Amino acid sequence: MNLLLNVLWVIFGGLWMAVGWLIAALIMVITIIGIPWARAAFNMARYAFLPFGFAAVDREEHTGEGDLGTGPFGALGNIVWLVLAGWWLALGHLITAIGLGITIIGLPFAWAHLKLAGVALWPIGKVIVPREIMPGAPYRPGPI
């Protein structure tokens, strides 16, 4: 089911928004000083391209230990990100979600865009994980 949803996602706005994330990452890399933000943007571009079956969670919650991106420097980095690129990526996700939400068939994709809009505002300190290993997810054993 995740494969089907991801294919439909790419067709109905996912590709467009993943390209937006990549453009933001490339602009950050070009400035040299923006490389820490570029890393987060590249990770989120991958998530924006194929979101179904994955989730963005706090890195500290996932690993159980803090690091530079999950502390005060991460918060400061997120504020800089919000001013430079976060607001327009969130706006793009919001506009796409509204367009998809008008139709019944687009509702799951609109919901995914709304989740990505939240991540677009505050991406540093997040990690993309498969839903099966999310904190609090029910244990699902693999194939024997």
Domain ranges, ordered by start, for the chain:
2-132
Mean pLDDT of 49-76: 81
Query: Encoding tokens for residue 133?
Result: 């290993």
Residue with token string 């996602």: 9
Q: In angstroms, rounded to a whole number, what is the distance separating the alpha carbons of residues 60 and 45?
A: 21
Work out the pLDDT band at 135, boundaries 50, 70, 90.
low
Q: In angstroms, rounded to a whole number, what is the distance separating the alpha carbons of residues 85 and 44?
A: 13
In the predicted structure, residue 127 carries a pLDDT above the cut 80: yes
CA distances from 5 to 31, 39, 111, 136 (A): 35, 26, 13, 23
Whole-number percent of the chain with pLDDT over 70: 91
User: What's the pLDDT score for residue 53?
Assistant: 87
How would DSSP label each residue in 25-84?
A: HHHHHHTSTTHHHHHHHHHHHHHHHS-TTEEEEEHHHHHSS--TTTSHHHHHHHHHHIII
Mean pLDDT of 94-100: 92
pTM, rounded to two decimals:
0.79
